[in-house]
């Protein structure tokens, strides 16, 4: 697969990167809406949602697409980065001081951090789901993911890491949103300002939505 990826023209790679990015942007909203169920003190909200996501066939198909998309996004990112490094074999002595959007030059690094987190995150859920590790207490024969979340979020270190990572994700998304439209060639119309603004709002609201959850568990739920 990587051989054919390498043969893609630079713009084709950009376009795939953008399309996959937008797909992941949509997925994030779905994920967030499920996570926000954690804010209900009744565990059934969250567990039902988790159950639905875990058993629905449509979702299962999308899960595969999601994984494939995610891996492709990462693989393309790495290929692009390696090619980009190779296109400047001798580096400058003085670091570039050109004005560029915040952290736009560090997408590979913010992306890498997110990837690292995802590995941990997936370990936390999939090893249980796949029965590779002893999960949390069961309710009615179903794994109690709500309890798992509560357990994890009541560890301050975990929550802090979680918050930091979503700040990083915010930076990643902040640039990614309008960049995806730029890559798809939809950024030279009068709507480009709207896209840019919406991207900023998205990159703040979505990570903030995720961040609320550990804060809730740390500050409010533990006090209950």
Partner 1 sequence: MNLTLKIWRQKDAKSKGKFVTYTLENISPNCSFLEMLDILNESLIQKNEEPVVFDHDCREGICGMCSLYINGRPHGPDDAVTACQLHMRKFKDGDTITVEPWRAKPFPVIKDLMVDRTAFDKIIQAGGYISVNTGGAMEANHILIPKPAAELSMDAAACIGCGACVAACKNASAMLFVSAKISQFALLPQGRPEASERVMKMVKMMDDLGFGNCTNTYACEAECPKSISRSNIARMNLEFICAKASWE
Binding residues (CB under 8 A) for partner 1: these are 9-15, 80, 83-84, 86-101, 104-105, 107, 175, 178-179, 181-188, 192
Q: Quick one: 9 or 134, whose CB is closer to partner 1? A: 9
CB of 192 to partner 1, least distance (A): 7
- The sign of the torsion formed by the CA atoms of 106, 175, 167, 130 equals negative
CB of 78 to partner 1, least distance (A): 12
Q: Quick one: 106 or 125, whose CB is closer to partner 1? A: 106
HEC per residue, 124-165: HHHHHHCCCCCCCCEECCEECHHHHHHHHHCCHHHHHHHHHH
Q: Quick one: 114 or 179, whose CB is closer to partner 1? A: 179
Q: Quick one: 8 or 158, whose CB is closer to partner 1? A: 8
CA angle, residues 62, 68, 74, in degrees to nearest 5: 135
Residue 44: which of 128, 170, 146 has the closest Cα?
Answer: 146
CB of 2 to partner 1, least distance (A): 15
User: Contact 206/28 with Cβ under 8 angstroms?
Assistant: yes
Copy the structure tokens of residue 221: 């739920």
CB of 134 to partner 1, least distance (A): 43
Pairing of strands 138-139, 142-143: antiparallel
Three-state DSSP class for residue 62: helix
Q: Quick one: 50 or 168, whose CB is closer to partner 1? A: 168
CB of 31 to partner 1, least distance (A): 25
Q: Quick one: 128 or 186, whose CB is closer to partner 1? A: 186
CB of 105 to partner 1, least distance (A): 5
DSSP letter assigned to residue 101: S
């Amino acid at each position: 697969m990587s051989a054919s990826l390498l043969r893609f023209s630079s713009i084709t790679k950009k376009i795939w990167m953008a399309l996959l990015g937008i797909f992941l942007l949509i997925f994030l909203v779905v994920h967030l809406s499920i996570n926000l169920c954690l804010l209900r003190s009744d565990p059934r909200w969250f567990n039902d949602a988790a159950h639905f996501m875990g058993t629905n066939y449509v979702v299962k198909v999308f899960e595969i697409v999601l994984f494939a998309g995610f891996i492709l996004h990462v693989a393309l990112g790495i290929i692009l980065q390696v090619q980009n490094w190779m296109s400047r074999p001798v580096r400058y002595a003085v670091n570039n001081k050109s004005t560029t959007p915040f952290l736009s030059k560090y997408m590979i690094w913010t992306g890498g951090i997110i990837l690292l987190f995802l590995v941990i995150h997936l370990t936390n859920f999939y090893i249980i789901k796949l029965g590779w590790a002893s999960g949390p207490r069961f309710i009615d024969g179903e794994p109690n993911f709500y309890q798992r979340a509560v357990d994890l979020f009541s560890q301050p270190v975990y929550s802090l890491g979680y918050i930091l990572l979503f700040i990083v994700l915010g930076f990643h998304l902040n640039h990614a949103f309008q960049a995806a439209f730029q890559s798809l060639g939809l950024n030279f119309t009068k709507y480009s300002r709207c896209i840019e603004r919406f991207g900023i709002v998205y990159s703040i609201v979505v990570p903030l939505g995720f961040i609320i959850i550990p804060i809730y568990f740390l500050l409010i739920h533990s006090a209950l």
